[in-house]
Structure 1
């Protein structure tokens, strides 16, 4: 008797009613049927695989229009919780945030701050990827690229991007504070554009995640965000950020660069 090629279980005799009335060639084919759910499970897995591929393709297509300001690239798409060291406290927090995002009407964002290479961008990308796979719309932008775009394209470019900033489920601003001045007289212009971006998100009532190497401090005078973005003694940008985002310090050694283990793995 035929066996299931997946689990080895023998087929059972088909008990379908009126099977004897069927033509012989059909009756011969369905006389014995699987006595397990392997085929259904394999079909389910295949459908899940195809759905993941479809969602992955949609994720890439969604950001094509804003590719010149986005940090959604192959490295971003590979940043997933299943590839992370989930013993890290900030990664546990990131995963919990992503899970809660799906079941709660969350307006609270996060400000991930700390030294270069400690995993802030990776954690943000893990959250973004996870939510996009669940059907949420996510924009992850680089502030420097955004400002460069606005300096080249006037009027409609900013209006169009801010419309998307207002609509999407989550906005992630990566490497906040590393952008360079366009010229010596651009400080006021930069501050205005950054404030407009963050204020648009604030008024939408939707969450924002920011990653930055700048040091955050409850004391405004010791806060590097205040130092970098304060204009004429006003801290509008910092005030908006702390209204929207809970500060989380990401500590640890830099994870950037090729480690000895990675090199030996490649050479093996």
Structure 2
């Protein structure tokens, strides 16, 4: 007797009266049918997986044309939890955040702040790669590149980017506050564009992760984000960020630069 390959239950006799209207070879193939729903459930899962991949590919193709504002390069893609020092408190937090992201409907955002080379971008990249491997859509933006593009008359593309910002599962803004190439006359314009970007994410009620070298403080007067982005006495950008992101200070000695160990491994 044929059995289900999933649960092992034996097939049962098919007593459907409608079978008599089929040719004999079809009746013979349908004489016994599964007693379980494993086959239907398997097909449903396959359809759901195909749809998930289709949606993911559509978003990926839309974002691909904006690669000039992305920081997803080879170094970024090689940043993974399995390559990290998981004895580090910040890496443990990042891993737990990524795992919780998959389990919980309502996610919170993170603000990684601290000195240069302390591992902020590495932490966010590990989170991004982990989630992308699990089928989540992650848009990773370099704010400086984004703003520079907008200065070249990128109006239509801006609307498309803001649409993707609202749709993706996770938005990451890397190196927030390190933008260059804009003169003093563009300060208000820059603040407005950044606010529109973050506010769009805020209104979509989806999580945001930011990494920045700027110092964060609950005291607005001591907060570099306030100092850099306030306009006309208003701190709209900082207010949006603290509404969405929990601040995490990343401390320690800079990990950037080649070491003697790197050279020895290379020449040995």
TM-score (norm 1): 0.77
| Pairwise CA RMSD | 1.9
Match of 1:213 in 2: 213
Following the alignment from structure 1 to structure 2, what is the Cα–Cα distance between the partners of residues 258 and 63? 33
**Number of equivalenced pairs:** 214
Match of 1:227 in 2: 227
Where structure 2 has 5 or more consecutive residues not aligned to the other structure, the ranges are 1-52
Post-superposition CA distance 1:221-243 (Å, at most 9, x none)? 00000000010110000000000
Q: SS of the residue aligned with 1:185?
A: helix
- CA deviation after TM superposition for structure 1 residue 154, in Å: 3.3
After superposition, the Cα gap between the structure-2 partners of 1:78 and 1:238, relative to the gap in structure 1 and judged at 3 Å, is same
For the 8 Å contact 1:230–1:236, the answer to whether it is kept is yes
Where structure 1 has 5 or more consecutive residues not aligned to the other structure, the ranges are 1-53
For the 8 Å contact 2:226–2:235, the answer to whether it is kept is yes
Post-superposition CA distance 1:70-125 (Å, at most 9, x none)? 00010111000000000100000000000000000133100000000000000000
Matched, 1:150 2:164: no
Matched, 1:160 2:136: no
Post-superposition CA distance 1:239-268 (Å, at most 9, x none)? 000000000000111010011111110111
Match of 1:258 in 2: 258
Runs of 4+ with >3 A deviation: 58-63
For the 8 Å contact 1:79–1:126, the answer to whether it is kept is yes
For the 8 Å contact 1:63–1:70, the answer to whether it is kept is no
Match of 2:113 in 1: 113
For the 8 Å contact 1:107–1:244, the answer to whether it is kept is no
Q: SS of the residue aligned with 1:86?
A: coil
TM-score (norm 2): 0.77
Q: SS of the residue aligned with 2:178?
A: coil
Match of 2:173 in 1: 173
- CA deviation after TM superposition for structure 1 residue 195, in Å: 0.2
